[in-house]
Amino acid sequence: MLDFSRLWPPEIPKPGVRASFLIRKLRPELVRSYSKPLCSDAFSRFQTGSAEEKAENSQDVADAFLHMLKELIPTLVAKLQKEISDPESIAKFNVTEALHEQGKGCSPIRSSSSFDDLSCRDKYAALGCLVVSF
């Protein structure tokens, strides 16, 4: 049996979520495109090496996560604001694909796993929430 729970680096651990490093992962697109290699065992006791190496591994993953939040997501929001100007363009825009292209999962809109199947009105409302939240 193979266990893939530690294949990708985790997001920064969420307080109050037990073992979040095992369930909240960075997207493969972000990991592949990030400027440094990232440790999939960051923030966990699975890491080996010195305390300094462990701290550096966790800091690199935290930096990648913050890069996503502070640079990549605002870039996507700007793209959304530029490309989505009317109901017809909203209906055609595939936000899930756009999020994944830039290494972001659908966690900002996790409650709507079938986002691209929403009605135009509901999609517009969800995109508004996405833009406002970043």
Q: What is the mean pLDDT of residues 103-111?
A: 48
Are the C-beta atoms of residues 44 and 10 closer than 8 Å to each other? yes
Model-level pTM greater than 0.85? no
Residue 96: count other Cβ atoms within 10 Å of its Cβ. Answer: 17
Q: One-letter amino acid identity for 40?
A: S
Percent of the chain with pLDDT over 70: 70
Q: 133 pLDDT exceeds 90? A: no
Q: First and final CA of the chain: distance in angstroms?
A: 40
Residue 67: count other Cβ atoms within 10 Å of its Cβ. Answer: 16
Q: What is the mean pLDDT of residues 98-108?
A: 58
pLDDT at 56: 96
Are the C-beta atoms of residues 60 and 41 closer than 8 Å to each other? no
Q: 112 pLDDT exceeds 50? A: no
Q: 129 pLDDT exceeds 60? A: no
88 phi and psi, to 5 degrees? -65, -40
pLDDT at 49: 92
Collapsing DSSP to helix, strand or coil, 110 comes out as coil
pLDDT at 38: 95
pLDDT at 28: 86
Contact residues for 121 (Cβ-Cβ < 8 A; gap 6+): none
DSSP class of residue 7 equals S
